[in-house]
Chains A and B, each alone.
With several copies, the nearest count.
Chain A
Amino acid sequence: MDSNEVFLQIPMLPNMELAATETAHRVAEFMQFDPDKIDEIKIAMIEGIINAFEHSQSKDKTVYIKFLMRGDELEVTIQDFGHGFDLDSAKKEPEQLRKRGHGLNLMEGLMDRVDIYATPNGTKVIMVKRRHSSDE
C-alpha cells in the first residue's frame, strides 16, 4: 500500500458510517482541507454508505472504503458487493418536498466529482473533493 492510501472495511451496522466519516476527517485534516469542506466530504460519504447499508442487499454485509490522497485532491471510493441498481431511473428529477431520494443529489451537490458504477455485482461510488474548488 502506498502511504497516501487508507482502507476501511465496515460492517453494515448502525452508526458505523461515522467510523468512516471520522477517518475522512483525519485524512482531510492531514491534507489541510478547511473545516467546511471536511463537513461536505463527511455528509456526502454518509449518503454513499447508508445507500449501501439500505439498498445493496450485499451478502457480505460489508462496505469497502478507500481514501486516496492525490496532491490537492481527496478521492473516496465507497464499494459494496450487492445487487446494484439502475442509475437512470434512480436519478429522477426531485419532486417538490420529496421525502426520500436525495442521497445521490447530495453527493453530487457536496463533492466536486461523483462517478457511480452500478452493476448486478455491486456498486462503486467514486467521489472527489479538491482542496480549492473552482466554484468558490
Chain B
Amino acid sequence: MADVFKVTTRMEGKYAILYTEGYINNLAGDKIVEEFNQLVAKDVKHYVLNLQKTQLVNSIGISILIEVIEKVQEIGGTLAFCHLTPIIAKTFKIMGLTQYSKVYDTEEDALKN
C-alpha cells in the first residue's frame, strides 16, 4: 500500500486526468480539492479521476469527492472515474456517486465518452 497519498495530473486535450495513489481519507480528499481548484482556475472543465493506485477509501474522503462533483456540475463540466477496484466501485454505488458521475473501466473509455 502506498504510504503517503499522492495526486498527479496529466492533461490530454480538454481533459485533466488526475491519478491518485494511496488511501483516500480526509487529508487525501483535501489534496484532491487543492489540485482540482488549481485546474478550475486554469479553466479546465473536464475531469477524469484514475483511481488505479488506490485500494482503500473512507466515506469522509469520498464525501470530499462528492463536493468536487458538485463544483464540476456548477461550472458546467464533467467528471468521470476510471480504474476502480470492484470494492471501490461497490462503495461508490452504496454512496450514490454512480448516479452523478460516470464510471469507466479504462482511461481510454473515459476519454472517449
Chain B positions within 8 Å of A36 at CB level: 85-87
Residue contact A42 to B91, C-beta cutoff 8 Å: no
A side interface size, CB within 8 A: 29
Chain A positions within 8 Å of B70 at CB level: 97
Q: Given that A47-B59, A105-B94, A106-B94 are contacting pairs, would A97 and B85 also be in contact in the complex, using a CB cutoff of 8 Å?
A: no
Chain A positions within 8 Å of B67 at CB level: 99
Specify which of B55, B59, B62 is in contact with A39 (CB 8 Å cutoff): B55
Question: Is A98 an interface position by the 8 A CB rule?
Answer: yes
State A110–B57 Cα separation when bound (angstroms).
Answer: 13
Residue contact B87 to A18, C-beta cutoff 8 Å: no
Within 8 A of A (CB), among B50-90: 55-60, 62-63, 66-67, 69-70, 85-88, 90
Stretch binding the partner chain, chosen from B11-19, B36-44, B95-103 = B95-103
Chain B positions within 8 Å of A40 at CB level: 87, 90
Considering the complex, give the chain B residue whose CB is closest to the CB of A54: B60
Chain B positions within 8 Å of A76 at CB level: none
State A54–B57 Cα separation when bound (angstroms).
Answer: 16
Q: Given that A39-B85, A50-B58 are contacting pairs, would A97 and B66 also be in contact in the complex, using a CB cutoff of 8 Å?
A: yes
Specify which of B3, B57, B59, B100 is in contact with A29 (CB 8 Å cutoff): B3
Question: Is B9 an interface position by the 8 A CB rule?
Answer: no
Chain B positions within 8 Å of A35 at CB level: 3
Within 8 A of B (CB), among A24-58: 25, 29, 35-36, 39-40, 42-43, 46-47, 50, 54
Residue contact A103 to B59, C-beta cutoff 8 Å: yes
Chain A contact residues, CB within 8 Å of chain B: 14-15, 17-18, 21, 25, 29, 35-36, 39-40, 42-43, 46-47, 50, 54, 94, 96-100, 102-103, 105-106, 109-110
